[in-house]
Structure 1
Amino acid sequence: MAIRIHISEWLGKKKWTQKQLSEITGIRPATISALYHETIKRIEIEQINELCKAFNCQPGDLMTYVPDEEYTPEQK
């Protein structure tokens, strides 16, 4: 299984940089980078809350589940 994280798409929609998102949300730049590159292993509920506030979205808009049989590394 893989959880796809859509931070890069949201940054593109808003035309924000990772640094700007970090400043808006108060989330460390390294964490934003890990989210952007989908290498993060764990995310706190408060971080999801801050991202939803910044992007004016629902938690489900930030990530999707991809079953193992449908996941390929190229999707990253």
Structure 2
Amino acid sequence: MIRCHLSRLMGENKMKIADVARETGLHRNTITLLYNETANRVDLETIDRLCALFKCTAGELFEYIPDSSSVG
């Protein structure tokens, strides 16, 4: 499973979804899906804008957590 740390980054920077949308130009719905970890896919442009805003790497924004069902 892929874990998104957007909610943590937003909390550390005291930002709301509206703030992130305004600063990145991303749709509120896109940010909300990532914030709630319910997104099924993410565009590279979205990752790029979020990493630029939070001055982080993609590895700090997302984390891969293996689970028993994904091990083949």
Establish whether TM, by shorter chain, passes 0.5. Answer: yes
Aligned to 1:73: none
Q: Report how far residue 17 of structure 1 moved.
A: 0.2
Sequence identity, in percent? 38
Aligned to 1:74: none
Q: State how far apart, in whole Å, the 2-side matches of 1:58 and 1:65 are.
A: 14
Question: Deviation digits for residues 19-67 of structure 1, max 9, x if unmatched?
Answer: 1001101110001000000000110101100001100011100010111
Q: State how far apart, in whole Å, the 1-side matches of 2:66 and 2:28 are.
A: 29
Q: State how far apart, in whole Å, the 2-side matches of 1:66 and 1:6 are.
A: 12
- For the residue of structure 2 that corresponds to 1:42, the secondary structure is coil
Q: Read off the aligned partner of 1:31 and give its amino acid letter.
A: T
Aligned to 1:31: 30
Which runs of 4 or more aligned residues in structure 1 lie more than 2 Å from their structure 2 counterparts after TM superposition? none
- Which sections of structure 1, spanning at least 5 residues, go unmatched? 70-76
Which structure 2 residues correspond to residues 61-76 of structure 1 after superposition, within 5 A? 61-69=60-68
Corresponding residue pairs, total: 68
1:55 maps to 2:54: yes
- Which sections of structure 2, spanning at least 5 residues, go unmatched? none
Aligned to 1:45: 44
- For the residue of structure 2 that corresponds to 1:47, the secondary structure is helix
TM-score by length of 1: 0.87
The CA RMSD measured in Å over matched residues stands at: 0.6
